[in-house]
């Protein structure tokens, strides 16, 4: 990674997962600094993983890549503390705060900085994340590579052509795990309702979802082809799929994801209009 030192402002679940991912990939703990308004979180990372406990001033003065991992409502204050420490330096800034645009970050930190917005999701906590990325014009190929290496420590990452595409990424992969949880919950409850033991329904639902995901990941076939392969004419799968299709499952999913994307855009616009 081209960045010699990485600093995290905020040490919640997402920052912690990235730190652990970097360490698992062989990144030296001495090159990672962390700060947070909750000193106990920093102390735990320092004691358990030997990273550097720091403050915003130290991170601003020393780090080549600075990850802003605070809540959106705390971002303005975090940037106000960080900006004086940057001085004339231009480290790469990466934000994982939903709805905080690059224009807003530039207003708070200055427009000379290379910046990247990242939309991760919760499976990053176990190294299976999916992140969408968008960079401003000051971020060059080296900056992009650094961000890719950072986020690949916790999963996959893709670059978006437009910053507004992050609203769709938020609706698809950012919120997506909850959709699968809901569907799994419905499957489990349906099996229990038909008389299957609750423990068996839970175990089989989880393993079926895991197996299906791994099958998709290991296959070069499109999702449609995989579905057709297990849908025998006149069989049990076809009977269930016919119900899904007949009751508008595809249209419901389309409407739901569109609603999530619209809400993501609303939150971003509200942030831009905030005083």
**Domain ranges across the chain:** 6-163, 176-260
Same CATH fold assignment for domains 6-163 and 176-260: no
Mean pLDDT by 10 residues, the chain (275 residues): 83 91 90 93 92 95 96 93 95 94 95 96 93 97 95 96 96 96 98 98 98 96 96 96 97 97 88 54
Cα separation, 236 vs 133, in Å, equals 41
pTM as predicted: 0.90
Architecture, CATH, for domain 176-260: Orthogonal Bundle (1.10)
- Which pLDDT value is given to residue 275? 43
**Topology adopted by domain 6-163:** Rossmann fold (3.40.50)
Q: Of 115, 105, 187, 181, which is closest to residue 144 (Cα–Cα)?
A: 115
């Amino acid at each position: 990674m081209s960045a010699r030192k990485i600093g995290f402002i905020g040490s919640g679940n997402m920052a912690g997962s990235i730190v652990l991912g970097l360490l698992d990939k062989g990144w030296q703990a001495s090159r990672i600094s962390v700060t947070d308004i909750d000193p106990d979180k920093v102390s735990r990372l320092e004691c358990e993983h030997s990273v550097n406990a720091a403050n915003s001033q130290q991170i601003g003065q020393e780090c080549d890549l600075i990850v802003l991992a605070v809540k959106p409502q705390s971002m303005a204050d975090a940037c106000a503390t960080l900006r004086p420490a940057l001085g004339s330096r231009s480290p790469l800034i990466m934000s994982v705060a939903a709805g905080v645009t690059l224009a807003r970050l530039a207003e708070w930190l200055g427009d000379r900085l290379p910046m990247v917005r990242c939309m991760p999701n919760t499976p990053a906590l176990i190294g299976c994340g999916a992140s969408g990325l968008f960079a401003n014009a000051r971020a060059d190929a080296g900056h992009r590579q650094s961000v890719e290496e950072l986020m690949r420590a916790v999963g996959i990452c893709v670059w978006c052509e437009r910053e507004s595409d992050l609203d769709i990424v938020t609706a698809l992969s950012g919120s997506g795990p909850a959709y699968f949880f809901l569907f799994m919950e419905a499957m489990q409850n349906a099996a229990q309702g038909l008389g299957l033991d609750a423990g068996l329904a839970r175990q089989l639902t989880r393993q079926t979802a895991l197996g299906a995901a791994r099958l998709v990941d290991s296959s070069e076939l499109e999702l449609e082809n995989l579905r057709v392969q297990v849908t025998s004419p006149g069989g049990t799968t076809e009977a269930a799929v016919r119900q899904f299709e007949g009751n508008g499952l595809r249209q419901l999913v389309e409407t739901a994801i569109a609603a999530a994307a619209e809400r993501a855009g609303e939150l971003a616009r509200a942030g831009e209009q905030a005083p």
